[in-house]
Amino acid sequence: MKYFFLSDGWTVGRVWEFGGLWNEAAWRRKPQIEQTNLCIFENNEKLWLYRVEDAVLMVEVKPIAPELASPQTRSIGQVVLKRLISAEQAIDLLCKADLFLDRSEH
C-alpha cells in the first residue's frame, strides 16, 4: 500500500499508474483509494491520511468547491499532483505532526 495526505475540502481527480492515466475499462474497476480514520493538523489545516493500492503512482487532487477552500489552499491553485509515500513515511509524518487525531476513537 501507498499513502498520501489530503486537506479537508479537497478530492481526488485523475489517477496515474505505470502505463499512464488509470483506465477503468482496461482495469475493469476504479483504483482503490480509501480515506483512513487518521488526520494530522499542520499550519491550521486538517490533513487526512489516504491509502491507495500499489499500482497507483500519482494522484491529482483539487478543491471540492474552490470558493470555499481555506486561504492556504486557495493560494495553491486549482489542481495539485500528489506523489505517494510509504507506510514508514506516513508514520513518521504522523509522529511529527503538530496534532494527531484518530476519529475511530471518538
Q: What is residue 71's predicted lDDT score, i.e. its pLDDT?
A: 60
Q: Which residues, other chains included, contact 27 with Cβ-Cβ below 8 Å and sequence gap of 6+?
A: 17
Distances (CA, A) of 49 to 30, 67, 87: 19, 23, 11
Q: pTM for this one? A: 0.82
- What are the boundaries of each domain within the chain? 2-105
Q: What is residue 43's predicted lDDT score, i.e. its pLDDT?
A: 82
Q: Give 19-57 pLDDT, tens digit per residue.
A: 999 999 999 999 999 999 999 988 888 999 999 999 999
Q: Give 6-22 pLDDT, tens digit per residue.
A: 988 899 999 999 999 99
Residues facing 42 on adjacent strands: 45
Q: What is residue 12's predicted lDDT score, i.e. its pLDDT?
A: 93
Q: What is residue 35's predicted lDDT score, i.e. its pLDDT?
A: 95
Q: Give 87-105 pLDDT, tens digit per residue.
A: 999 999 999 887 777 776 5
Q: Give 65-87 pLDDT, tens digit per residue.
A: 766 555 655 555 567 788 899 99
